[in-house]
């Protein structure tokens, strides 16, 4: 018997969880005078399915026409026009509503649990548009040889992952390139608004003494960040916590080694959902990134129920 994946492969299970999250976070209709043809939770679940199937709005409409079970589960008497999905995306994935949907997915996964042992912070970039690697190489060949960067900007997702479950407990969206050092505080605060954390792990891009003080002195959270920012030198850093990191981080490597779970979390997002965003404008790209983060957590909701039961049954069979 093979061990099941953490991320759900069943569109029915994903639609069921997305519908439950939508019913918790959204009112049924946007306005009392709305046509009331489709509810907002139904449209939100359809948007999650669009990400799940890696398709566009037109493709989503065709899939719903073909899959009777999905229409029955979502309670759709008719398939919405693809422009309905596009308008729903602009309305439901605005910053405030997207944050509420994301927070609902986190609370639904954790249940009553509010304390996590280790949280890993990191950021990643996603491609904007569908440029082939061959095209990029040809364009680079015509440019000056000293130019090594083939992009002007990219969509940037900053996230905090639970090291045990790869649940995304905080997500900030924006555009890169930009440094990470000033993103530690808002990302940690966003995570602490959802859960209590014992220790936070981050790479050297977040290294600064004020970041350590913010985590340790203000929030009483142990922070582990390699003190390698700046020019290489044999001298110890002047800051209290950065000096401690330089002297003692290797002794805590078993704890800090879990920072790689953030890389695993981003790998799960890019392999299972998307490694690029289709939006052309800034806000459209932000909506795509928010939907990716929410969809990742919804796919993990399957792990909170069936996966854990299947894994315990698998272990019992082995013993």
Please state, in angstroms and as integers, the Cα–Cα distance from residue 115 to each residue in 9, 91, 129, 162, 225, following that order: 28, 33, 38, 10, 21
What's the pLDDT score for residue 149?
54
Radius of gyration over every alpha carbon of the chain, rounded to an integer in angstroms: 22
Token pair for 213: 């003080």
What's the pLDDT score for residue 303?
63
What's the pLDDT score for residue 275?
87
Helix (H) or strand (E) holding 283: helix 282-302
Instruction: State CA 281 to chain mean position distance.
Output: 20
What's the pLDDT score for residue 228?
86
Domain ranges of the chain: 11-92, 113-291
Report the residue count for the chain.
Answer: 319
Token pair for 155: 């969509």
Residues 6+ apart with CB under 8 A from 275: 126, 127
Nearest in space to 121 (alpha carbons), one of 164, 173, 69, 183: 183
Please state, in angstroms and as integers, the Cα–Cα distance from residue 229 to each residue in 31, 222, 225, following that order: 51, 19, 10
Question: pLDDT 10s per residue in the chain (319 long)?
Answer: 333 467 888 899 999 999 999 999 999 998 888 888 999 999 999 999 999 999 999 999 999 999 999 999 999 999 999 999 999 999 999 999 999 999 999 999 998 888 999 999 999 998 887 666 666 666 666 555 555 555 678 899 999 999 999 999 999 999 988 889 999 999 999 999 999 999 999 999 999 999 999 999 999 999 999 988 877 777 888 889 999 888 888 755 667 888 999 999 999 999 999 888 888 889 999 999 999 999 999 999 876 655 444 444 433 333 3
Nearest in space to 38 (alpha carbons), one of 95, 82, 78, 98: 78
Nearest in space to 293 (alpha carbons), one of 174, 141, 163: 174
Question: pTM higher than 0.75 for the full model?
Answer: yes
Nearest in space to 211 (alpha carbons), one of 173, 182, 232, 169: 182
Which contacts of 24-32 are long-range, i.e. CB under 8 A and separated by 24 or more positions?
A: 24/104, 24/108, 25/97, 25/100, 25/101, 25/103, 25/104, 26/92, 26/97, 26/100, 26/101, 30/91
Asked if 84 contacts 38 with a C-beta cutoff of 8 angstroms, the reply is yes
Nearest in space to 48 (alpha carbons), one of 283, 300, 305: 300
> Looking only at Cα atoms, what is the longest distance across the chain?
70
What's the pLDDT score for residue 232?
74
Nearest in space to 129 (alpha carbons), one of 152, 147, 98, 102: 152
Helix (H) or strand (E) holding 161: strand 154-162
Rounded Cα–Cα distance for residues 306 and 199 (Å): 29
């Amino acid at each position: 018997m093979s061990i099941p994946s953490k991320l759900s492969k069943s569109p029915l299970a994903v639609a069921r969880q997305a519908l439950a999250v939508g019913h918790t976070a959204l009112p049924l209709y946007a306005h009392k005078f709305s046509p009331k043809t489709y509810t907002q939770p139904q449209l939100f679940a359809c948007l999650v399915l669009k990400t799940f199937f890696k398709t566009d709005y037109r493709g989503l409409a065709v899939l719903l026409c073909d899959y009777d079970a999905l229409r029955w589960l979502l309670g759709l008497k008719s398939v919405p026009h693809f422009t309905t999905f596009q308008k729903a995306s602009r309305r439901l994935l605005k910053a405030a509503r997207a944050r509420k949907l994301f927070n609902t997915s986190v609370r639904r996964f954790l249940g009553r649990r509010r304390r996590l042992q280790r949280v890993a912070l990191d950021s990643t970039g996603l491609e904007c548009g569908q440029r082939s690697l061959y095209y990029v190489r040809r364009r680079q060949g015509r440019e000056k040889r000293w130019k090594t960067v083939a992009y002007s900007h990219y969509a940037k997702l900053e996230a905090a992952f639970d090291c045990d479950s790869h649940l995304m407990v905080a997500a900030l969206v924006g555009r890169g390139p930009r440094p990470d050092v000033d993103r530690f505080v808002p990302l940690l605060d966003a995570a602490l608004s959802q859960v209590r954390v014992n220790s936070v792990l981050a790479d050297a891009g977040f290294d600064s003494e004020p970041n350590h003080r913010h985590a340790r002195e203000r929030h009483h959270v142990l922070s582990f960040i390699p003190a390698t920012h700046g020019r290489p030198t044999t001298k110890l850093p002047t800051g209290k916590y950065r000096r401690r990191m330089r002297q003692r981080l290797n002794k805590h490597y078993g704890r800090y080694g879990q920072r790689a779970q953030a890389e695993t979390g981003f790998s799960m997002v890019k392999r299972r959902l998307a490694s690029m965003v289709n939006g052309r404008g800034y806000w459209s790209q932000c909506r795509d990134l928010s939907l990716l983060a929410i969809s990742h957590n919804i796919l993990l909701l399957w792990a909170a129920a069936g996966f854990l039961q299947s894994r315990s049954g698998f272990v019992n069979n082995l013993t």
